[in-house]
């Protein structure tokens, strides 16, 4: 069983991606907080592998890139410590100070961080993506970089495979 979280500033497409991944395969969803620390959004079961997508509360950043609330922010950092892999979702069309603020938090992550670059369907010239990916990859030591379109579903299955590749096998205890 593995725990995954998708983080990113508002509007990058987190809900769209979550729905696409969990939509068909959803076995359990809960909108209610499971603990004060996190919210289980859904469980995807495939063969022997259970992947639990959790929400990180409070990764809310104001328009100046500052954390809005110290308590919530601490809760978010705590949640990030207890997942096996983090998907950092960014929008292909805009890199903002809010993204930068989320990135700062991720520097303290203790698990692999996968960079998913969303909305590539909006790109007319796909080769324009390369310099941007290069720039993003210099910002953090990402385990993998995966361009996707959450809305159109492009490359989302590949992202799921990459995520599952980082989930440890065997017994896994979650506090
Ligand atoms: P969240 O705030 O991060 O959860 O973002 P949402 O999932 O609510 O998406 C924000 C907006 O971006 C919505 O209008 C989505 O329809 C749009 N969106 C999400 N993913 C994609 C994508 O892959 N391509 C395009 N063109 N739009 C997208």
Q: What is the pTM of this model?
A: 0.80
Pocket of ligand 1 contains residue 28 by CB under 6 Å: no
Pocket test for ligand 1, best of 5, 13, 56 (most atoms within 8 A of CB): 13
Nearest-10 crossing angle of helices 156-165, 14-22: 80
Which atom of ligand 1 approaches the CA of 89 most closely?
3
Q: At what angle do helices 97-106 and 70-81 cross, to 10 degrees?
A: 50
Tokens 């500052």 correspond to what residue?
A: 66
Q: Can you say whether the dihedral through the CA atoms of 24, 30, 34, 39 is positive or negative? A: positive
Sign of torsion over alpha carbons 162, 168, 172, 174 = negative
How do the pLDDT tens digits run along the chain, 175 residues long?
A: 678 888 888 888 888 888 888 775 443 444 444 333 344 555 555 555 566 666 554 455 555 545 555 555 666 666 677 788 899 999 988 888 888 888 888 888 889 999 999 999 998 888 888 888 898 899 999 999 999 999 999 999 999 999 988 887 655 554 4
Q: What is the phi/psi pair of residue 36, to 5°? A: -70, -15
Q: What number of other Cβ atoms are within 10 A of residue 157's Cβ?
A: 12
């Amino acid at each position: 069983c593995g725990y995954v979280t998708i983080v990113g500033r508002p509007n990058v497409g987190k809900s769209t991606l979550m729905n696409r991944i969990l939509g068909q395969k959803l076995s359990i969803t809960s909108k209610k907080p499971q603990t004060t620390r996190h919210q289980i959004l859904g469980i995807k079961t495939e063969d022997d592998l259970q992947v639990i997508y959790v929400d990180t509360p409070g990764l809310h950043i104001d328009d100046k890139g500052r954390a809005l609330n110290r308590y919530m922010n601490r809760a978010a950092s705590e949640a990030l410590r207890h997942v096996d892999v983090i998907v950092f979702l960014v929008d292909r069309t805009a890199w903002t100070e809010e993204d930068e603020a989320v990135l700062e938090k991720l520097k303290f992550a203790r698990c692999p961080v996968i960079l998913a670059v969303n909305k590539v369907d909006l790109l007319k010239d796909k080769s324009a993506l390369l310099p941007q990916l290069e720039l993003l990859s210099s910002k953090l030591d990402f385990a993998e970089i995966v361009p996707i379109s959450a809305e159109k579903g492009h490359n989302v299955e590949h992202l799921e495979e990459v995520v599952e590749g980082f989930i440890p096998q065997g017994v896994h205890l979650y506090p």
